[in-house]
Amino acid sequence: MSEEEKTEKSGWRVWVQPSRIPSRGVLGILSFFGFFTNYMLRVNLNIAIVSMTGGTNVLSNASFNKTLVLSECVANASGKHAAPGADFQEAEFDWDSGQQAMVLGSFYWSYVVTMVPGGLVAEKYGGKLVYGGGNLVLCLMCLFVPVAARLHISVLILVRLIQGMAAGVTWPAMHVMASQWFPPHERSKFVSTYMGNSVGIAVTYPLCGVLIDSFGWESAFYVPGLMCLLWCVWWWFCAFDSPAKHPRICKKELAYLEQNVVISKRKLKLPLKSILKSVPFWALVVANVGTIWAFMTIITYGPTYLKTVHGLSIRENGLLSGLPNLSRFIGSLFFSWVIDSMITSKKISITFARKMATIVAQGIPAGLFLLMGNMGCNAKAEVAVLTLASMISGSASSGTLVNSVDLAPNFSGSLLGLISIIGMSSGFVVPLVVGFIIKDNQTLAQWSGEVQLWNEPDLLKPEKGKNRKIVKDDSEAPDSTEPLRK
């Protein structure tokens, strides 16, 4: 066997071969930067809204004159209470926490609606048009966000809804391309390119922090939007639906893929009834919900948490918010290399590999997230733990993210769409849940969980002949050195 044939046979080495980049390697690079720009346009609002609303998100819509109840971490440094704007920049929009939740969550209301149709259309007409078209609409709407916000909050929500519909087709479309281009022992590595989303987020937060600080919050939409437009041009000329349709693919790579990638040539009807009766399908749905819930909480409320609880500047906020997402990509690369190598060498089965990756991605980070709630006001320690948890959760690219391609290569796009309808609903549920929990009180206790009244049973027992009053907030508290209890 020649050296070149050995390279093709080994699979992963061809991706880093210095003499040339294979056609599927080019697709991997396009996929990485496609998700990179896609997620820049999803999350730029998450940090821009901190500047747009002055970083408070605790003000009522009716009044800018209320005294703000600050986080203990900010209060320790600047006094128990602060007048509006004392520690926060001036707000252009007086949206309360509920309205902000609507703006942040509206993207995902429509996102889940187009996932299954996106997969079906990609399976019928090819992933190139669907994935590229979704990103194009997403970036055009991004450029319109500043205008929409100033017109009315309802116009901004409409723009976010359109963005959500466009973004909803992208994941299923890329899964369709993965099923056409990659054999089973290379899929984890290719799906790790989806983690371009984490790198995109990691870059977006510090980049937008600098842009907002230097040029205003509008630049957080214009710069990423133009970057995505450039990617769309690149995609159009260099991406192809399948190896057979690629005009420049080398003959050896084409022969290798035709031999190792098995896809039905017939047009098949989606077996929805059988899918819904499938135990592995529902197991994947449950696992996917856990992965996405944690991810959505971090990317949606990470910047707000660091601003309101720890009082970080927009530049510090952007840098620290980005670190966990960068580490997630690094973890994805490591785990995908290890797991694909073990599958190729037949040391483990594909089923065992997916289960192992999923347990690692969810079990260890869950324990680390619990640890974060007990670290007090040490922002850097919290970010360090979160960064480690995110790195380990990167193994999801070798577990839940790729498993739908394993289960049904012929319906990979549709299957991912069905799974994500439930999983990605956390995109709009998370803002509503977090908004309800923190309400108008941006304290560490609200984010970590309130101490319950039954924590001190004696407070529940009224003095004989009297109804003992339980202090609920600072406004009712006597002038005392005793700690306030909720």
Q: What is the largest CA-CA distance in the chain?
A: 95
To which CATH superfamily is domain 24-79+87-242+271-448 assigned? Answer: MFS general substrate transporter like domains (1.20.1250.20)
Q: Which residues does 481 contact at the CB level (< 8 Å), separation at least 6?
A: none
**129 neighbors 174 (Cβ within 8 angstroms):** no
Residue in the structure block whose two tokens are 């009807």: 269
pLDDT higher at 257 or 452: 257
pLDDT value of residue 222: 95
pLDDT computed for residue 333 by the predictor: 82
79, pLDDT greater than 60: no
10 pLDDT above the threshold of 50:
no
- Summarize the confidence of residues 351-357 as an average pLDDT: 86
The pair phi, psi for residue 69, each rounded to 5°, is -85, 105
State yes or no: pLDDT of 67 exceeds 70.
no
Q: Is the pLDDT of residue 430 over 70?
A: no
**Beta partners for residue 68, in sequence order:** 82
Q: Which of 169, 71, 160, 93 is nearest to 125 (CA)?
A: 169
Domain ranges in the chain are 24-79+87-242+271-448
Contacts of 310 (CB under 8 A, 6+ apart): 71, 73, 74, 377, 379
pLDDT at 425: 65
Q: How many CA atoms lie within 13 A of 32 on its CB side?
A: 15
Identify which of 270, 327, 321 has the alpha carbon closest to the alpha carbon of residue 300.
321
In order, the DSSP letters of 435-479 are: HHHHTT---HHHHH-PPPGGGSGGGGSPPTTS-PPPP-SGGG--S
Say whether pLDDT at 150 is over 50. Answer: yes
Helix (H) or strand (E) holding 81: strand 81-82
End-to-end CA distance of the chain: 74
| CB-side neighbour CA atoms (13 Å) of 458 | 0
Question: pLDDT-derived band of residue 64, with 50, 70 and 90 as boundaries?
Answer: very low
Distance in angstroms (rounded) separating the CA atoms of residues 478 and 88: 28
With bands split at pLDDT 50, 70 and 90, how would you rate the model's confidence at 6?
A: very low
- With contact defined as beta carbons under 8 Å apart, do 84 and 59 qualify? yes
Nearest residue to 102 via CA among 166, 45, 143: 45
Kindly report the pTM of this predicted structure: 0.67
pLDDT band at 159 (very low <50, low <70, confident <90, very high): very high
